[in-house]
Amino acid sequence: MIDPYIKHVHEAVSYIQSKTKHFAPTVALTLGSGLNTLADLIEPVATIPYADIPHFPIATVPGHEGKMILGILEGVPVVGLKGRKHFYEVARDPHAMDIVTFPVHVAASLGCTLYVATNAAGGLNPKYSVGDLMAIRSHIGLFQPSPLMGVYHDFGSTDFFQPQNTQYDPHLRTMFKKLDPSIHEGIYVAVTGRAYETQAECLMLRAMGADAVGMSTVPEIMVATNRGMKTFAVSMITNAIAKDGTNATNHEEVMAVLNSKTTEEKLYRVFREFFKKLTGAY
Ligand code: HPA
């Protein structure tokens, strides 16, 4: 019997292909909270609301638009995912991680060979300032279940026991870091949210070696790797966690940073350059 999950992914892919004809994206770009405007860099071939795509999870968090944009970004055929589903939105559903990572499977089945994630994160590293970017070197998945547990969806990956040493392509990280002096490279820790961290939790996360904390990206990267895609991810630091561990942020503060003109201009400039250099690099 065919795995119904795989069938659903194929139905979503067929629907998208029926709207885009022969367009074949090679890069998936997931745009996190407030990073939506990066989608403006894409010359669209088709824009499809998530709600129209069979089985596609609909983003419900303010700041997540819920649209797929297929088109060309600086010469690269991309599928832009404007808004994502977080684990905390569906945590009580027994298939939570299958829901969260559905778009990643769709991107892989559309033929993407590179998965790029962006997110907003709190800066644990005292050297990080609000508005800085961090290329993720490695991650710590904390308190969120692995998306590779439970029913194994056999899309033909050879890695049943998935190695995790190939994530966050080193060549792409080096290329990215050269684009702006405020770009760091560091460790991203994903916690469940939806609440921000306590003072004690921040001190623990910092002691563990994490440089930035957020609530997404890790399950997506694990599944993208399992589907054979190269991966790359960037955090925008929206709040600086104090030396004593106090995380005084709130959603409004995070969104205010993301929506500021300075942030937007920097993101546009850096991502445009990155995609220009991407041809032939992955
Ligand atoms: N913690 C978790 N997620 C976040 C933060 C934070 O401080 N800032 C933006 N996303």
The residue contributing the CA closest to ligand 1 atom 9 is: 121
Question: DSSP for 153-164?
Answer: --SS-S-SS---
150-155: average pLDDT: 91
In angstroms, what is the span from residue 195 Cα to ligand 1's centroid?
9
Its domain, for residue 203, covers 4-278
pLDDT band at residue 89 using 50, 70 and 90 as cut-offs: very high
The number of domains in the chain is 1
The CA-based dihedral angle spanning residues 242, 178, 222, 74, taken in that order and rounded to the nearest 10 degrees: 120
Closest CA to 274 of 108, 92, 74: 74
pLDDT band at residue 157 using 50, 70 and 90 as cut-offs: confident
Give the pLDDT confidence of 13-41 residue by residue, as tens digits.
Answer: 999 999 998 899 999 999 987 788 888 89
Ligand 1 atom with the smallest distance to the CA of 239 is 8
**Ligand 1 pocket, residues with Cβ under 6 angstroms:** 120-122, 196-197, 213-215, 238-239, 247, 249, 254
In percent, how much of the chain has pLDDT > 90?
77
The CA-based dihedral angle spanning residues 193, 103, 72, 67, taken in that order and rounded to the nearest 10 degrees: -70
CB 78 within 8 A of CB 279: no
The confidence score (pLDDT) of residue 64 equals 62
Give the pLDDT confidence of 92-137 residue by residue, as tens digits.
Answer: 999 999 999 999 999 999 999 999 999 999 999 999 999 999 999 9
Residue 158 has pLDDT above 80, yes or no: no
User: Within 13 A of 173's CA, how many CA atoms are on the CB side?
Assistant: 20
Catalytic positions, written as ranges = 33, 64, 86, 88-89, 120, 215-216, 239, 251
The confidence score (pLDDT) of residue 121 equals 96
More confident residue, 65 or 239: 239
What b/e readout covers 36-68, taking b as 16+ CB neighbours within 10 angstroms? Answer: bbbbebbeebeebebeebebbbebebebbebbb
Domain with 13 in it: what CATH number?
Answer: 3.40.50.1580
Q: Write down the mean pLDDT value for the chain.
A: 93
Q: Is the previous residue joined to 206 through a cis bond, with omega within 30 degrees of 0?
A: no
Residues in the chain: 282
Q: How many helices (H) and strands (E) does the chain have?
A: 9, 9
Residue 9 has pLDDT above 90, yes or no: yes
